[in-house]
Amino acid sequence: MKHDIEKIYTLTQQELHDYVIDYISQFNEEIISIESFFIISAPKQKAPYLVAHLDTKYDVTPYEVVLVNNKKYEAYDKNGYRCILGADDRNGVWTMLELYEQYHDKLGFIFTWNEEKGCVGARNLVVQYHPFLKENISYYVQIDRRGTKDLAYYSTYDILMNQNFRLKLEDFHPYRVVPGTSTDVKYLSACAKVSSINISAGYHYEHTTSEYCEYEYLLNLPNTVIDLINHLGYKDYPLNY
């Protein structure tokens, strides 16, 4: 583990933004950062892009994070009561940071602000970087789905889904392809007219004080994401417009 997940759970959105910028700036990739909206790290060529969001629901910052029986993370506030852990979506951000050193020249990385407030960062990204998204992105993998078994797609784009992309996803065991409700790639995908999928990030009961994270699943998540990318390949999956 290169990055301390327990520390990442306790950072505010602003602090996590600064942490990400500090870390990725030491590598040579082109970095676009518009504070309050998004960070993009772009390799030189067209590529698959990973996406996660920097904020947590209600901007809750845990006072203490506990690893229970080496199995799951839970969070507590100052008074010793359970609180939101923020594994939604700190698990996604942590996974991308773990992969960054090895993959920054092969994959794109997008960290968004304020997904929980209505995908504010992603929607601004779409407005400000429309041509960039169209030219540079083969497909998106967001790391922001609850549980440990899902590959979620966004129902609005059901009929537009690239069939080869769908077949590949259905063949990625033991995951199941399910409809999701909303997240950043819903907007990003429509803008670039490319396929996207949102993979389980290992948390349960997000947005509640019962939120917890499956530790073992999280530890394997960087490898799982790379397995998924290798399975899909470094090629384009346009939507069927």
Q: Which is nearer to Zn ion, 89 or 211 (CB)?
A: 89
Q: How far is CA 149 from the centre of its chain?
A: 15
Other C-beta atoms closer than 10 Å to the C-beta of 179 total: 11
Nearer of residues 88 and 211 to Zn ion, judged by Cβ = 88
**Residue spans of beta strands (DSSP E) within 35-163:** 38-42, 47-53, 64-68, 72-76, 82-83, 108-112, 137-145, 150-154
Q: Tell me whether residue 89 or residue 150 sits nearer to Zn ion (CB atom).
A: 89
Taking a C-beta distance cutoff of 8 angstroms, is the pair 145, 199 a contact?
yes
Q: How many CA atoms lie within 13 A of 99 on its CB side?
A: 30
Q: By C-beta, is 75 or 168 nearer to Zn ion?
A: 75
Q: 55, 74, 89, 214: which one contacts Zn ion (CB under 5 A)?
A: 89
Q: By CB under 5 A, which span of 41-49, 81-89, 152-160, 230-238 interacts with Zn ion?
A: 81-89
What does the per-residue mask of binding to Zn ion show for 24-43, with x meaning CB under 5 A?
Answer: --------------------
Helix 184-192 vs helix 120-128: angle between axes, to the nearest 10 degrees?
Answer: 20
Q: Within positions 132 to 151, which residues make up the interface with Zn ion, using CB under 5 A?
A: 144
**Smallest gap from residue 164 Cβ to Zn ion (A):** 27
Cβ proximity to Zn ion: between 144 and 214 the closer is 144
CB of 178 to Zn ion, least distance (A): 16
The values of phi and psi at residue 124, to 5°, are: -70, -35
Asked whether position 98 contacts Zn ion by CB under 5 A, the answer is no
User: Closest CB to Zn ion among 123 and 168?
Assistant: 123
Sequence-ordered list of residues with C-beta below 8 angstroms from that of 20, at least 6 positions apart, any chain: 39, 54, 93, 97, 111
Which of residues 74, 88, 150, 211 is near Zn ion by CB under 5 A?
88
What are the distances in angstroms from CA 232 to CA 63, 93, 173, 221? 39, 21, 13, 16
CB of 132 to Zn ion, least distance (A): 23
Which conformational region is residue 59 in: left (phi greater than 0), alpha (psi within -120 to 50 degrees), or beta?
Answer: left
| Beta carbon nearer to Zn ion, 89 or 214 | 89
Task: Please state the closest distance from residue 140 (CB atom) to Zn ion, in A.
Answer: 14
Size of the site for Zn ion (CB under 5 A): 3
**Cα–Cα distance for residue pair 20/46, rounded to 1 Å:** 22
Where does this chain bind Zn ion (CB under 5 A)?
88-89, 144
